[in-house]
Structure 1
């Protein structure tokens, strides 16, 4: 049977997939575009099947301005959705918002739900992609497309560890992604064990503890410890953290390899290239981290003291999260509803979880538990099988290099590392998070990956061989999802339609070098987060937006006057018109030629 032919296929109907589909149709309304979504509803992280009870965003709507939010598309306000200013946005509201966005911009009818892309084969002779799509009923079909955008992000496929004895456990064992499907059964439990120190672990722990269920909270002795959890307002000046990270003056405290497009490379050079500047930076992050620990009161109780993060706040990014709970989660630790175990899971047996402590090998702890819920992260490699075999490297995707197992041993990588350390000497002095660290055991393919994402501008393959036929949106983590999706989508459309001047002007060597430099920067800058695997940044978002806008020939400085540019925080409202500005420039080019 012949393959169905379409112009564009977007994979994923979350923040990024919906936005790139909307932008493509906005620029080219006549496009025959299809969105493939594995789930039965749109929203990605905020799809219906992932909205467990009490789920809220880390963003407080309208705290800075009652009419403006930080978690909304620049051209689609969230205000009409009835969110109370100063409150965290409920998960149900975000789902409704994304559904309405898809409806308003005529994307919804292009979504094919319950459709999982399994293989994508590049046809070099025609510069097209042959896609195999599996349905929930076990059937499959093929699509032939000119343009492919993978917008599945890095939190789609859960990583569930393998435990010795798990086949005998006889109790529910699942990832926090599946919390909704299991929540009714869990609320009948007397005692639950939760593994992990990430934000989703905090959410699960709070959900059950606040409902009177005893929780054993296991955070691995051989892991990275608890993530940083902050109140919405931090520093002695009590600044709103969402605006703190998008204030250009404060972004200078973060070294940034793509800073030249932001226009203040000289200031960053002083801040990070001189002894005095580095002292100022260390003081700033020391105050920031110290304030968070003081506000949380870790040292006020022996149990909460165990929750102090191991990571240096300078070297983290999106692993920073917000205490968005209705009541004090630390009180459940102090009153014994939550018991903290800084130990490792040795093995499972019927109804029991056996813990070990590397500090005291003879000490054994056995937990009687009605369930084991794992907050153990995500498989960062896209689930799609790309063909021909071995093209992941050229695409800039994670893969296994058996010839040179260590990425740092590659010549171009050595050159990138030297450049990063020359510009930012502080990054060469990496802290040891946990000398006892060991990776959790998972499936063999995930365990063997030894190359991270290496995309040009964090979006496109680091080569011209695919002739602008594929892009990757959302293959990163930061705290400015809505703005990033908005600008990445426009950049991707320009790139895919051969209307991005830098992509045409740069050589193959330029693309490979810049992609490698940016990839390695993540390894050194956010070693306490996910920078070794994929781009992970917080204070560098405004500079990233500037780089993409500069590529599009759009003014990256979205405010008037030096004071506003430097000291007033950026938000979605500053990027409302970027698509219209780009379209006007393109129309003007057409008219003048």
Structure 2
């Protein structure tokens, strides 16, 4: 498994609890766990968008006294880092993490049992190979930064760095007199605030770019019920008028409450996209003081709407000939959204459902390039949600960063490389007979929403149940049934294609990214595991009370308390907390009783052999 961020730790905990006899290793390329919240990425004044109580694993509540945080507060980065380390300790997975170990190649073994041979490097760049029976990829979409080459950067004279490395360049907060920040996502807002509060002049350059779930068109909402209400709101003229009014009011509230129009400088930061089509790439005002006050003063933060043309000694030049004195240049220039390792055999990324080159004449296993399925999915989406036909026009003259004069790159893949989107069943596993038979690979965290931690928890549980053949709605059941397999593949295309039209100005066309659709997605995962998605007590509570981590706290124990399943809960938690002790189950008896096929028994034997081999290569479990 790799890496050790929110999704990696969540999946590791679920796997370690549910398959205690398997050997587990977590490969993390950085020198500490945490992913986005690791020691190396905790830049000054970093806080979560989420409030205390909403940013935690359901089975490990963030205790206010322990972590020094109060209700109603945004959570400081160091607190989240400490929480993740405590979570790893709590469930005995810290000792399973191999830090400064990067997976560079994953080669699939095309046998009945499957499996992968991984090529890994350590901090000394020494290579070794490891065989694993199952592979969980948890690299997410913000693990590999994209930093292009800016014309003249060799003569600039100051540090030029991606926002991922702000922490490593935090010394510029005291050494720089002026800094240019290029970009406008949350990291850019945070950096502008941090520099301004440190007394550094900020030139902020922004390119010319781009009850609630019922009001959001959602193609995978069936699992949550209330289809009659959704059909009325999105399938009738009256309903669509109500929906349009809702989004208009919401957008107006954002502008009014944010106070964007109260000053000509803050007006430059006003959202440029329709609120309905806005994805997860935005920031929440979570600062100790009002960042707008720093902008209004003019001497702290100056906003420039334009393009960077080149750099020269101590200066950043814009396309309109503006020159900005700068000691440092912080580039918020995006991420490579594909996993940062090579998959073999060559071309297997197509069948894995990973982004790859577009093609009009693709083989059947290349699901993302099946034009007939794509066209069929588009027709269904527009028939069900006519509002999505009216796409926002945000900038007809937009030029990708890598096509901008003065900016270039030698990287094979950039955020603007024309690739297919992810094409995964439930945004987790390849809808391919070969991989469904082997049950040897899953991807977690290839999705972004405002319920990422809940998603990490349930995706991890879903994956563990899938590997054990215990899903109530198992995609592998479609194997050898041509119609069922066709339906499974089409559903994957439909769900992954939906983002292109629902969130067109964000990640939506490349990977699953949604806001109001998070609860329907979690509903779908719960249904697959045989769980009731309606977690509240009573109809009124169900439609009006917000969902939080507490609503999913006993998900794992409920999955394995079904009448037909004889399971003994025994979790390797570090203490006697009742919440955590319920989470262990024995796979052997259940797998033999419920599945009992030669294939499954063969896989179980292979998994045992793989465990022994991994023990000899990466060390035994402690």
TM over 0.5: yes
Structure 2 Cα separation of the partners of residues 445 and 378 of structure 1: 10
2:508 alignment counterpart: 531
Match of 2:495, SS state, is: helix
The 2-side partners of 1:95 and 1:217 are apart by: 28
Please state whether the residue corresponding to 1:435 is helix, strand or coil: coil
> Contact conserved, 1:347 with 1:353, CA < 8 A, in 2?
yes
Provide the secondary structure at the position in 2 that maps to 1:282: helix
Q: In structure 2, what is the equivalent of residue 583 of structure 1?
A: 560
1:353 to 316, 319, 337: 316
Aligned to 2:184: 197
Q: 2:358·2:369 contact (CA, 8 Å) conserved in 1?
A: no
Matches for 1:286-297 after TM superposition, within 5 Å: 286-297=248-259
> Contact 1:27–1:583 at 8 Å: present in 2 too?
no
User: Which of residues 284, 297, 318 is equivalent to 1:322?
Assistant: 284
The aligned runs of 1:27-176 (5 Å cut-off) are 27-61=18-52, 69-79=53-63, 80-125=66-111, 126-176=113-163
SS across alignment from 2:424: coil
How far apart are the structure 2 equivalents of 1:197 and 1:92?
23
Cα separation, 2, equivalents of 1:457 and 1:409 = 18
Question: Within 5 A, what are the aligned runs for 1:227-246?
Answer: none
Asked whether 1:216 is paired with 2:203, we answer yes
2:384 to 418, 423, 426: 423
Question: What is residue 374 of structure 1 aligned with on the other side?
Answer: 331
Tell me the alpha carbon deviations over residues 319-344 of structure 1, each in whole angstroms, 9 at most, x when there is no partner: 24310001111111110111111010
Q: Does the CA contact (< 8 Å) of 1:427 and 1:524 recur in 2?
A: yes
Confirm whether residue 502 of structure 1 aligns to residue 474 of structure 2: yes
Shift of 1:281: 1.2
Who is 2:455 aligned against? Answer: 484
Q: Distance in 2 between matches of 1:432 and 1:408?
A: 26
**How far apart in 1 are the matches of 2:369 and 2:349?**
19
Q: Distance in 1 between matches of 2:284 and 2:535?
A: 28
- 1:236-286: CA deviation from partner (whole Å, max 9, x where unpaired): xxxxxxxxxxxxx22101011111111112211111111111111111111
Q: State the alpha-carbon separation in 2 of the partners of residues 90 and 320 from structure 1.
A: 18
Q: 1:458 aligns with which of 412, 423, 427?
A: 427
Q: CA RMSD in A?
A: 1.8
Could you tell me whether the CA contact under 8 Å between 2:162 and 2:332 is conserved in 1? yes
CA distance change for structure 1 residues 313 and 509 in 2, over 3 Å: closer, same or farther? same
Distance 1:455 1:317 in 2: 20
Question: Matched residues in 2 for 1:72 and 1:103: separation?
Answer: 15
Question: Is 2:229 aligned against 1:267?
Answer: yes
- Give 1:409 deviation, angstroms: 8.2
Please list every run of 5 or more consecutive structure 2 residues that lacks an aligned counterpart in the other structure: 363-367, 403-408, 479-483, 568-588, 595-622
Question: 1:59 deviation in Å?
Answer: 1.5
What CA distance in whole angstroms lies between the structure 2 residues aligned with 1:267 and 1:159? 43
Contact kept in structure 1, 2:186 and 2:283, CA below 8 Å: yes
What is the CA deviation profile of residues 431-454 of structure 1, one whole-angstrom value per residue up to 9, with x for unaligned ones?
111111111114233343421111
Query: Is the 8 Å Cα contact of residues 310 and 434 (structure 1) preserved in structure 2?
Result: no
Q: Is the 8 A contact 2:173 2:198 kept in 1?
A: no
Which residue of 1 is the match for residue 612 of structure 2?
none
Conserved? CA contact 2:179–2:203, under 8 Å: yes
Q: Give the Cα–Cα distance (whole angstroms) in 1 for the partners of residues 166 and 560 of structure 2.
A: 43
Q: Matches of 1:393 and 1:536 in 2, distance apart?
A: 21
Q: Partners in 2 of 1:322 and 1:81 — Cα distance?
A: 22
Secondary structure of the corresponding residue to residue 465 of structure 1: helix
Could you tell me how far apart the structure 2 residues matched to 1:376 and 1:428 are?
30
Match of 2:166 in 1: 179
The answer to whether the 8 A contact 2:421-2:496 is kept is: yes
1:59-117 Cα offsets, whole Å, 9 max, x none, are 221xxxxxxx1101001010132211211111111111110110110111100000111
Q: Distance in 2 between matches of 1:402 and 1:210?
A: 50
**Whole-angstrom CA distance in 2 between matches of 1:409 and 1:560:** 44
Measured after TM superposition, the shift of residue 404 of structure 1 is 6.1
Deviation string, structure 1 residues 24-49 (Cα, Å, up to 9, x no partner): 11111111000001111111111001
State the aligned residue count: 546
Q: Residues 134 and 408 (structure 1 numbering): CA distance in 2 closer, same or farther, change over 3 Å?
A: closer
Q: Which residue of 2 aligns with 1:7?
A: none
Mapped contact 2:448–2:513 kept (Cα < 8 A)? yes
Once residues 450 and 109 of structure 1 are traced to their aligned partners in structure 2, the CA distance between those partners, rounded to angstroms, is 37
Conserved? CA contact 1:463–1:511, under 8 Å: no
Q: Judge conservation of contact 1:315–1:526 (CA < 8 Å) in 2.
A: yes
How far the C-alpha of 1:369 sits from its partner, in A, is 0.8
Candidates 379, 391, 395, aligned match of 1:434:
395
* 8 Å contact from structure 1 (residues 76, 101) kept in 2: yes
Correspondent of 2:344 among 387, 390, 398: 387
Q: CA deviation at 1:169?
A: 2.1
SS of aligned partner of 2:565: helix
Whether 1:445 aligns to 2:413 is yes
Equivalent residue number for residue 614 of structure 2: none
SS in 2 for 1:510: helix
**1:402 offset after TM fit, Å?**
4.6
Deviations 1:109-143 (A, max 9, x none): 10000011100000112401000011111111111
Using structure 2 for the length normalisation, give the TM-score.
0.85
Which of the residues 506, 519, 525 maps onto 1:548?
525
Superposed displacement of residue 403, structure 1: 4.6
